Structure 1
Amino acid sequence: MTYLHLLQLRLLQPSRATISIAGKITTLPSPPRQSRPPCCRMSSGSDPSPPLSHTLTLPVQPGEPVHVVAAPGVSDSQFRSAIDSSLFKQWLKNLQSETGILSSGAGTLKRVLIQGVDMFGSRIGFLKFKADIFDKETGKKVPGIVFARGPAVAVLILLDSDGVTYAVLTEQARVPVGRFVLELPAGMLDDDKGDFVGTAVREVEEETGIQLNLEDMVDLTAFLNPSTGCRVIPSPGGCDEELGIFLFRGNVDSAIIKQLQGKETGLQDHGELIKVRVIPYEKLWRATGDAKVLMAIGLYEMAKREGLLPLKNQPATSART
């Protein structure tokens, strides 16, 4: 048997490994074989189960169907809930509205990738997806990452006491920014009915303990041009949230101000650990970076300058603690 034949036999032996060093063939013992758990095995082929998908047709682009697919990790029930949710349906409606991206025919929605679904009990609270919308003129894709959370409300509460106007704020932990934040009493709408003012009154009571009357609320965002939808859009580059900002202004005695300062409130079974803070209104614009506060100040001051606000403050009985 020649040297070449011996070399070929060595290379073919499964129990030993070979390495080349300076033109020589050296044999090394093979390491012991270790069994690999089934859950760690990687398939060399494609996943045999196709991704969850759904096809829909929009009236504004009847000949171009939209393919909705689920990212890995999104379950069948989550996927179906996402498609049927008011968050997703409202987003599609916005696309096709008079000022919508697809209304003029300049853009085309081709694909939506559902990436994440967070449930709040039996309903969807947050929905994360990516939309492939292309500009027909350039053929380029428009940035389309969406964090959908739907409409919400915030309330600017101004209480006059002993010649000073106070703003009522909440202080609570905000994990996304990693710190406690002073902000307006606020909350998301719980259903599809669009009851902004009712939600505003309910959130104020839950977060501050103050009971307000519906008829005493002033919708500051209603003063915006109708083309805006009469809602504030805090972060349209990534989030669909639309805010209705309301005002309540009343007269109270100093005992109410002292009672509110530092009061602990919130729905603790929902993880809400809230403290009420009362700040003189003249210092409010520098007291916090909360966008809701700063937007409310702007709307309030401009509406006051234009003479759009009620002339009289509400009596103390309208603000009960």
Structure 2
Amino acid sequence: MSAQQTLTLAKSRTQLRVECPAAIAARTPVARIVQFPPFAQWLEALDTQLAAGSEAGVAVRAVTIQSVDEFRAGSIGFLKFATDAVHTADGAPVPGVVFLRGGAVAMLVILRTRARDRPVPSWEDTDLVVLVEQPRLAVPDLALVELPAGMLDGATGGFAGAAARELREETGLAIGGDELVDITPPSAGRGLLPSPGACDEFIRFYACEKVVSEAELDKLQGRLAGLRAEGERITLRLVRLCDLWTSTRDLQALAAVHLWDQHNRRQ
């Protein structure tokens, strides 16, 4: 038998049934699943939509948990479920397999030496961007080059603080949150949505220009980084800003360059 819990959403007063197979509930109780921050945020956003009486006319009746993945520390990392939702006009089902992982931050770090220092934006061949190379089995690519980024994991201290911590963990660069410029479009709310057809993830983008010495540049190129205890094996790569679009398949990197350009155009 499956375990289940019925929730009453506060704004819309919708009765939502959460069902969970017994095998999953034995490891991760339903009460703990509904407290998973990304799930709680999903429920709140759904409740707001339903209470607003969207013209789309959708009714969501239940969610069925399909899998729960936990981090080594024992906290829930990822949650996958299927929704029982229909269009109220004709009862036709609404596609709704959902993968929850929560928000993330991505950082565009532009480096130059003092001799190359100039007002922004420079867009010169001498400006370098910090990228990280690591295995990404979902793709799969065992040496994917991408922008430094990371999940929020319920971090406190705001988005900028989380971005600064991720930078330090992934690259070893000590850049304070107050040095990071938020280049996320105001219209994006909490962040941009890379795959809204199946995933709740939103990404907030930050950028930073930093003057370093030639010796520091030499030390960064090829440096080994990442949290070894968490299985991260990261190698730093420096590429010219003007070559970034040909140096990675990472959509976040290309989006960040565009957002940085738009940010500087508004200054």
Higher relative contact order (CA 8 A, sep 6+): 2
- Select the residue among 242, 258, 263 that pairs with 2:223: 263
1:86 and 1:192 in contact (8 A); partners too: no
Q: Which amino acid aligns with 1:153?
A: V
The match for 1:104 is 53
Deviations 1:66-119 (A, max 9, x none): 11101353123513321121121100111123xx36631522110100111111
Q: Percent identity?
A: 36
Shift of 1:189: 1.2
SS at match of 1:73: helix
1:185-196 pair list within 5 angstroms? 185-191=148-154, 193=156, 195-196=158-159
Tell me whether 1:199 sits opposite 2:162 in the alignment. yes
Runs of 5+ unmatched residues, structure 2: 117-125
User: 2:119 corresponds to which residue?
Assistant: none
What residue is the counterpart of 1:155 in the other structure? Answer: 107
- SS of the residue corresponding to residue 196 of structure 2 reads coil
In the alignment, is residue 171 of structure 1 matched against residue 110 of structure 2?
no
Check 1:119–1:194 CA distance in 2 against 1; reply closer, same or farther (3 A cut): farther
Q: Point out the more displaced range, 116-125 or 72-81.
A: 72-81
> Residue 15 of structure 1 corresponds to which residue in structure 2?
none
What is residue 4 of structure 2 aligned with on the other side?
53
SS of structure 1 residue aligned to 2:23: coil
Q: How many residues align?
A: 252
Give the counterpart of 1:224 among 186, 193, 200.
186
Aligned to 2:87: 135
Distance 2:69 2:138 in 1: 15
Q: Which has the larger radius of gyration?
A: 1
Aligned partner of 1:299 among 237, 259, 263 = 259
SS of the residue 1:198 aligns to: helix
What is the rounded CA distance, in whole Å, between the counterparts of 2:97 and 2:155 in structure 1? 23
Verify the 8 A CA contact 1:148 1:239 in the aligned structure 2.
yes
Distance 2:65 2:169 in 1: 33
* Contact persistence 1:189–1:195 (CA under 8 A): no
TM-score (norm 1): 0.74
Provide the C-alpha distance between the structure 2 equivalents of 1:212 and 1:61, rounded to a whole number of angstroms.
43
Residue 98 (structure 2) pairs with residue 146 (structure 1): yes
Q: Aligned letter for 2:16?
A: V
When structure 1 is superposed on structure 2, of 50-59 and 102-111 the one drifting more is 102-111
Is structure 2 residue 194 aligned with structure 1 residue 234? Answer: yes
TM-score by length of 2: 0.89
- Contact 1:154-1:200 at 8 Å conserved across structures: yes
CA distance in 2, matches of 1:192, 1:170: 22
Counterparts of 1:278-297 in structure 2 under 5 Å? 278-297=238-257
Structure 1 residue ranges without an equivalent (≥5):
1-49, 308-321
- CA-based RMSD of the aligned residues comes to 1.7
Query: Structure 1 residues 295, 194: CA separation in 2 closer, same or farther (over 3 Å shift)?
Result: farther
Amino acid at match of 1:70: C
Residue 77 (structure 2) pairs with residue 125 (structure 1): yes
Following TM superposition, the consecutive aligned residue runs of length 4 or more in structure 1 with deviations greater than 4 angstroms are: none
